[in-house]
Amino acid sequence: MQADLDRQEAWLSHEELDGVRGRVPILYVAAVPVRVADNGDVVGVGLLLRASDTGTMDRELIAGRVNYHERVRDALVRHLEKDLGPMALPSIPASPVPFTVAEFFPTPGVTPFHDPRQHAVALSFIVPVRGDCAPQQDALDLAWLTPDEAGEIGLQAEMSGGHGALLRQALAHLGVNSY
């Protein structure tokens, strides 16, 4: 097995990706970054602030495609570092298991998750981060909320594309009730 494959050759152009998105589901990872106390309690939930294509400001979770010939764990680290910075120091477990699988459909209402561009399947993880985090790329802000603050229905309703529903599922997985 060749370990040093050139991943660049496997990337699709924008036109090719648009064509594939119209024909097959695309695999994504989604991550809910958390701060964890020494006793294991979650004390902070990280949410990004981004400007949408329509000009609105939306709170979002971290999400992105898994590239061809990329391990899920590597995709998680890549997207966490892309949005939180190279010093975020995410702790990916030895055997990463998603807390849920979210199916995003281009047709609203099929599931709570909507992506007008494509049918996407997101393996969704809760990932502790230990390092210094700062918004990167197109993220304008990173807010660390307490689990109770993140559980407020009003905040989750402001999150587009079903990210609020995904956050609610993550909090339930952690044993935090939404208001």
pLDDT at 13: 84
Residue 73: CB atoms within 10 A of its CB come to 16
Determine the Cα–Cα distance for residues 160 and 137; give it in Å rounded to an integer. Answer: 19
Query: Rounded to the nearest 5°, which phi and psi values hold at 59?
Result: -85, 140
Q: Which residue has the tokens 């402001």?
A: 158
Residue 129 counted as domain residue: yes
Per-residue pLDDT, averaged over 131-150, amounts to: 92
Confidence of residue 3 (pLDDT cuts 50, 70, 90): very low
Each residue of 107-136: pLDDT tens digit? 999 999 999 989 999 999 999 999 999 998
Parallel, antiparallel, or unpaired for β 139-145 and 100-104? unpaired
pLDDT of residue 4: 44
In a domain, residue 10? The reply is no
Task: Kindly report, residue by residue over 148-171, the tens digit of the pLDDT.
Answer: 999 998 888 889 899 999 999 999
The domain in which residue 81 lies consists of 23-173
The type of residue at 109 is G
> In total, how many domains does the chain have?
1
Structural domain includes residue 150: yes
What pLDDT sits at residue 98?
97
Q: Is residue 156, in this structure, part of any structural domain at all?
A: yes
Residue 94 lies in a domain: yes
DSSP β-ladder status, 26-36 and 57-60: unpaired
Q: How would you classify residue 12: left for phi > 0, otherwise alpha for psi between -120 and 50, otherwise beta?
A: beta
- 5-29 pLDDT per residue, tens: 444 555 678 888 777 777 889 999 9
Does the pLDDT at position 52 exceed 90? no
The answer to whether residue 51 sits within a structural domain is: yes
Distance CA 135, CA 142 (A): 6
136: domain CATH number is: 3.90.79.10
Distance (Å, rounded) from C-alpha 142 to C-alpha 37? 19
In a domain, 133, yes or no: yes
- Dihedral sign for Cα atoms in the order 26, 133, 89, 93: negative
- pLDDT confidence tier of residue 179, bands split at 50, 70 and 90: low
pLDDT at residue number 9: 54
Question: Does residue 2 lie in a domain region?
Answer: no
Judge whether 133 and 62 are in contact, CB under 8 Å. Answer: no
Pick the more confident residue, 38 or 55.
38
